Chains A and B, each alone.
Chain A
Amino acid sequence: MRSLIDIKELSTQEIDELIAVAKDIISDPAKYSEKCKGKKLATLFYEASTRTRLSFEAAMYELGGNVLGFSSADNSSASKGESVADTVRVCSGYADIIAMRHPKEGAPLVASMHSLVPIINAGDGGHNHPTQTLTDLLTINREKGRFENLVVGLCGDLKFGRTVHSLIGAMARYNNVKFVLISPDELKVPSYIKQELDKDGVEYVETRSLEDAIPELDILYMTRVQRERFFNEEDYLRLKDTYILNMSKLEKAKEDLSILHPLPRVNEISVEIDNDKRACYFEQALNGKYIRMALIMKLLGVE
């Protein structure tokens, strides 16, 4: 029995296999419509994340399975003070696989230690969110047809954004990937990540200017610059527009640039870009469902 708590638990080969299955699902969804018939997914969401929960639920339904669960801690046993371990011991008797979202870091790991069925970490605070990373990888692979030989720009909050850290870790496994890290000084990638890149001989540059960086990028991964990350309002106001992607910044970009964003966005990507062929963030959300289908099948041992 296997769970997925952290993307690092998956080998490169396993990731490639998941991507291949997801692409096959996209090309022939009917073939998969009964793969999980008679199986149940429990979505234990201790904090609301409608987008992620719906993606998991849609994935299970499209595999012919069923779904049960709760969508916030208020109406669950957690509000009565039950531990994660106890809730999972009970729920693993009702379901074949569990997707868990929790505001505290490590809660899904605790769950996996006590569960009789596989646990998928659907986000634990700002810590791990492996299905987001798989979603990002599937999107890059579908857009580019490869993971090698890419210049990947990451823009915005690179300090606190764990999604960014996981994506860097996952993409760094492939040959000749160069990272362009675009952020204000306050929100630069933590040094331990740069040390790992140095150790593995992965090329990267840091810059404050999205405009300067954009011409060489194959992928641009945008994230939100949040107000609460700044010590004072002045710095926030001074910087926030610098990291908003609009048509004029896009002028110097490659014709085949792929723009990704984990969503929800606030204003960091101007809506005028939504209809540009380089915008991939809505496809990315859809890809999230397909990769979750592949993952559920893998963890359930369904061929």
Chain B
Amino acid sequence: MILNTITNGVVLDHIQAGGAMDIYKALNLDKLGCQVAIIKNATSVKMGRKDILKICEPIDINLDVLGYLAPGVTVNIIKDGKVAERRHIDPPETIKDVIRCTNPRCITSIEQELPNIFKLTDKENLVYRCIYCESKCKKHGDIK
């Protein structure tokens, strides 16, 4: 299968089962011309079931988007058929213009050119809050 024969590209591993499509959309992988494989419900020793994304082209991944959507994911950079780099992605402390504040009382609701910045305020429960109004973001719902 082509999945095992990436020469140059990126493999996103250890995605929570069911999470691959969200990441596919948020990273705009639909815009790519190359082959992209979405593997759902693969067997995992650690996770039971997991999703995997394989991208057959060396692309820059927005790690803020990825870390926010899928904390704990592993990014494998494939060069010449080998894993050249493997990175475990932690949830980012700050995310800029990844999600949008939906609080109608927030200053960002009337000043659209302001950057939407969220800070990780609760590491245990992965709660992000808008730096302006301190509203909690609704997970996944507000992706820009």
Contact = CB atoms under 8 A, between A and B. Distances in A.
B133 A110 contact: no
A203 interface: no
Contacts of B109: 104
Contact of A127 (B110, B111, B134): B134
A104 B108 CA distance: 9
A112 to B, nearest CB: 11
Interface residues of A, number: 15
B113 A83 contact: yes
A106 B113 contact: no
Interface string A112-133: 0000000000001111000000
Given A110-B132, A127-B133, A105 B114 contact: no
B35 interface: no
A289 interface: no
Given A109-B132, A110-B132, A127-B134, A104 B113 contact: no
Contact of B111 (A83, A124, A125): A83
The majority secondary structure among interface residues of chain B is loop
A106 B131 contact: yes
Given A83-B111, A84-B111, A125 B105 contact: yes
A180 interface: no
Interface residues of B, number: 15
Interface string B104-144: 01111111011000000000000000111110000000000
Contacts of A102: 107
Contacts of B110: 104
15 contacts: A83-B113, A84-B107, A84-B111, A104-B105, A104-B106, A104-B109, A104-B110, A105-B107, A106-B106, A106-B131, A107-B107, A110-B111, A110-B114, A127-B133, A127-B134
Interface of B: 103, 105-111, 113-114, 130-134
Closest 6 CB pairs of A and B: A106-B132, A105-B133, A104-B107, A106-B107, A107-B107, A106-B133
